[in-house]
Amino acid sequence: MAVKETAKDALKIVMYLGSNRNPRACSRVAKFVQNALVKTNHEVTVFDPWELDLPVLKQAMMMVKDWSTLPERLVRANEALVASDAIVVVSGEYNHSIPPALSNLIDHFPLSSYAFKVSAIVCYSPGPYGGMRAAMQLRAMLGEIGTVSIPNIFGIPRVTGALSEEGEPLNDHMESGVGKLITQLDWYAKAIRDRKRENGTP
């Protein structure tokens, strides 16, 4: 696991949940990942499509001149995104692709809100592939919006046998996998954060 830091230096993480199905395995994965991040002294804000309940995108925030006309929950979420150091995406795959609720959620926010951050992908599936087909597409999408994903991807095959409904790990792969992901995410996120503090952004 990553080394704990003081509250002043703790990384601020926005965690996107990718599923809008009911029931959804995403909930158990999200609980596990969030617990692991909190234990390693990260500040976590969760963007859940169930809770944000945003409509199918008709106009992105960056196209709206008067943000007072936007839902307050969207404006507050964007403030959290801007203030964050990194993004963690927890997603399954729908038809071997990115879940529509996830792409809809990502697309609502301005590209400037994602700029100069890194992201990490946690993917899962009920079968043996661990959601990797969606992860490959997510990596391209995250790069295009300005938050490049770290090299490590944490894939969880046969997710219902890997985590309980409460997000408790049921095999050794879970603890070691999330530990590697967080260690690598921290390295990249801190490097970018410290560089921005010293020199700003181009």
Mean pLDDT across the stretch 56-66? 91
pLDDT value of residue 130: 92
**Residue 3 included in any domain:** no
Distance (Å, whole) CA 185 – CA 74: 26
pTM of the model: 0.93
Q: 142, 119 in Cβ contact below 8 A?
A: yes
The DSSP 8-state label assigned to residue 103 in this structure reads: H
What pLDDT does residue 8 have? 62
Q: Where are the beta strands (DSSP E) in the chain?
A: 12-17, 43-47, 86-91, 117-124, 147-156
Is the pLDDT at 122 greater than 50, yes or no?
Answer: yes
For residue 113, the enclosing domain spans 12-199
**Residue 160 clears pLDDT 60, i.e. is over it:** yes
- Alpha carbon separation from 122 to 47, 54, 95 (Å, rounded): 15, 23, 18
168 in a structural domain: yes
Reply yes or no on whether the pLDDT at 2 is more than 70.
Answer: no
* Gyration radius from the chain CA atoms: 16
Q: How far apart are CA 18 and CA 39, in angstroms?
A: 23
Q: C-alpha dihedral over 80, 85, 90, 93, to 10 degrees?
A: 100
By the 10 Å C-beta count (0-12 exposed, 13-18 middle, 19+ buried), 110 is classed as: middle
CA 185/CA 119 separation, integer angstroms = 7
- 46 found inside a domain: yes
Share of the chain above pLDDT 70, in %: 96
The total number of structural domains that make up the chain: 1
In a domain, 16, yes or no: yes
Give Cα 175 to chain centroid, integer Å: 18
Say what the pLDDT of residue 67 is: 94
Residues 166-178 pLDDT 10s: 999 999 899 999 9
**Predicted pLDDT at 133:** 95
* 2 located within any domain: no
- Indicate if the pLDDT at residue 3 is higher than 50: no
User: Do the domain assignments include residue 7?
Assistant: no
9-13, 22-26, 42-46, 180-184: range with lowest mean pLDDT: 22-26
pLDDT digits (tens, 9 = 90+) for 62-88: 999 999 999 999 999 999 999 999 999
pLDDT band at 4 (very low <50, low <70, confident <90, very high): very low
Q: What is the CATH number of the domain that holds 179?
A: 3.40.50.360
| pLDDT, the chain, mean | 93
| Structural domain includes residue 6 | no
Contact of 134 with 97, CB cutoff 8 Å: yes
pLDDT at 147: 95
Compute CA distances 106 → 4, 49, 57, 81, 109, whole Å.
Answer: 29, 10, 10, 11, 6
- Does 86 fall in a domain? yes
First to last CA, the chain: 32
